[in-house]
Every structure is written in C-alpha cells, then in structure tokens.
C-alpha cells in the first residue's frame, strides 16, 4: 500500500473550468476611488483614470484607453492630498472599460499610504 495524497483541482469544481483573475488574487479588494496616472515604461504611452477597487496587491482602473496587457508601468495614485507611487504590471484589459494592475514595487512612503487606505477600508 502506498500513501497517496490527492489534492483538489480547483479548476474542475463549480460551473466554470476557466481560472479567472479573481481566482489568482491573493489580497481582498475594497471599493475605492483614487485618481491614477500611468506611464508605460517601454513605450512612454500614458493613461489616466480612477480606481474602482484597491488592495495591497493591485487595483482596477477605470479608463477609456487602457494600456496593453503585460505592460510594465509607473503608477501614481492620489486621493485627498495623499500619494502612492510605484511600479506595476497590467494583468487584465477590458477595452473601453479599464485595466487591472498588479503592484510589483511600491515606494516605501507609497506603501505606507496604501496600507493606511486599506486599513481605513477594513474598518468600515
């Protein structure tokens, strides 16, 4: 007799076999509006928008002109005089609606601001 460990295959349970972005997230997102400026580090293309939700791992940005999937971007989030800056990657694009980004490196002062925003949202 051998000891076999069977792990659940998350992609085969439930109505959908497709693993979506929500399945890959590792942080809870909270509804949150902040102004956003983005610059594609490779092409220099710029985009602006407003977040619809945010987490310590990323956010969704509502914009009519999202940047390309997998773009590495410089991001500046601002709300009520507080600013968080960092680097991110575009993980999902919804044409004419917006894009989801994952933070890959946030400046320490920006991380403090982001943490403060998230803590305030958790308390609500």
> What CATH number is associated with residue 92?
2.40.10.220
| pTM assigned to the model | 0.78
Domain of residue 30: give its range.
26-123
pLDDT grade, residue 5 (50/70/90)? very low
Is residue 15 in a domain? no
Residue with tokens 């773009």: 71
| Residue 24: predicted pLDDT | 57
DSSP state, residue 21: H
Is residue 109 in a domain? yes
Contacts 24+ apart (CB under 8 A), 83-90: 83/110, 83/113, 84/109, 84/110, 84/111, 84/113, 84/114, 84/117, 85/109, 85/110, 86/110, 86/111, 87/41, 88/38, 88/58, 90/66
Express each pLDDT in 11-44 by its tens digit.
444 444 444 444 455 678 899 999 999 999 999 9
pLDDT grade, residue 124 (50/70/90)? confident
In the chain, how many domains are there? 1
> Mean pLDDT, to the nearest integer, of 60-87?
97
> Mean pLDDT, to the nearest integer, of 85-113?
96
């Amino acid at each position: 007799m051998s000891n076999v460990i069977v792990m659940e295959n998350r992609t085969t349970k439930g109505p959908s076999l497709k693993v979506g972005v929500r399945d890959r997230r590792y942080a809870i997102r909270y509804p949150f509006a902040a102004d956003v400026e983005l610059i594609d580090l490779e092409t220099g293309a710029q985009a602006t928008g407003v977040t619809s939700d945010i987490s310590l791992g990323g956010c969704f940005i509502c914009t009519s002109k999202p940047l390309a999937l997998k773009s590495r971007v410089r991001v500046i989030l601002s709300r009520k005089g507080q600013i968080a800056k960092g680097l991110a990657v575009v993980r999902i694009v919804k044409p004419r609606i917006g894009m989801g980004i994952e933070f890959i490196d946030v400046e320490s002062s920006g991380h403090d601001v982001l943490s403060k925003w998230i803590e305030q949202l958790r308390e609500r």
